[in-house]
Structure 1
Amino acid sequence: MSYAYLASTPGLKFNYSLFSVPAGWVVAMSPLWWAIGAANSAAPGTYQNANPGESWSKLDTAPVPQQLKKRIKRAVAANNNNHVNLPLFAAGLAAANASHVDSSSLHLYSTGFLLSRVAYNLCYVLIEDESKSWFRTIFYWTGVGSCFALYIKAALQYRSMPW
């Protein structure tokens, strides 16, 4: 593929999907970054970078409002969950790219994963009512579904190759 071809076809004809992996990492880290800022704003020194694990256990005794403590703990949990799901997404995206899945599908499922994780993070941190927590579950499975769709598209592409 020549530079002239790339320059003459702006937009989604070019495959931007691999940029979604670092974008996914930023989305995955955002709840933790918020939690650190919120903890240190409410009680300066609560989070200490030299010993982050102990910082979260100190949160229980810190002079932080109870609702904020719960949100901070859920943000840390959302961060952990994001990092569990990011490898599933990255591997599915790599498989789909390696098998030459069309760029529109790559963009659709990459965007779907990223948007579902943003919504998941917001739901995880902000929803406190048990009866509404199923929203988080819907966004979780939407993201997983996007990952599985990448694997399925890749498998179908490989199946049609003359090996």
Structure 2
Amino acid sequence: MSAIGLNLTNNFSLYAVPAAWVVAMVPHFYAISLYNSEKAPGSADWDNRAPKKNIANIKEGKLSPEAQGKFLRAEAAQENAFQNLPLFAAAILAGNFAKLSPSTLNTTAAVYIVSRIAYTLVYINNTTAFAANLRSVTFLTGIATWMSLFVRAGNKLF
């Protein structure tokens, strides 16, 4: 038992799927708040009836180039996260189906979530070649985690 009363051999990996969904949504909420706080006076507010149109409206909102860049990168980070989420969820299910150890599942899920948080932070604030390369490293770390679960599950079931 740990200090907070959790048995670390329990399998928490399935909880990582909704956690990854929350991590995927955060950049979108950041983009909305950025738009509403940085838009020029008299510009239209964020319109939740037509969310995709808001991306086209950011030039109308006269956001500074820095705010516009952050807005676009935040929306791109969200889109990327949702493109990866089904693969991560499938890998978690494959690992559970193959009865991989809870420590393997928990550790791999945690590394994925942390890599996605790092990816999002680096992506939104990316203005240099170094940051762009770091973003690629964090992206590939996340990919490697769910790929490793598929390989481990396949090896165990083979």
- The TM-score with structure 2 as length reference comes to 0.91
Computing the radius of gyration over CA atoms, which structure comes out larger, 1 or 2? 1
Verify the 8 A CA contact 1:96 1:154 in the aligned structure 2.
yes
Question: Unaligned regions of 5+ residues in structure 2, if any?
Answer: none
Out of 3, 13, 16, which is 2:12 matched to?
16
1:54 aligns with 2:50: no
Identity of aligned residues (%): 30
Tell me which amino acid in the other structure corresponds to 1:35: A
**Match of residue 26 from structure 2:** 30
**Match of residue 80 from structure 2:** 81
Verify the 8 A CA contact 1:78 1:121 in the aligned structure 2.
yes
Deviation (angstroms), 1:10 = 3.3
For this pair of structures, how many residues does the alignment match? 151
**Match of residue 6 from structure 1:** none
Tell me which amino acid in the other structure corresponds to 1:97: N
* Aligned-pair Cα RMSD in Å: 1.3
Secondary structure in 2 matching 1:31 = helix
**Stretches of 4+ moved more than 4 A in 1?**
none
1:41 aligns with 2:40: no
Verify the 8 A CA contact 1:46 1:59 in the aligned structure 2.
no
- The TM-score with structure 1 as length reference comes to 0.89
Deviation (angstroms), 1:55 = 1.0
Tell me which amino acid in the other structure corresponds to 1:17: S
* Separation in 1, partners of 2:26, 2:121: 10
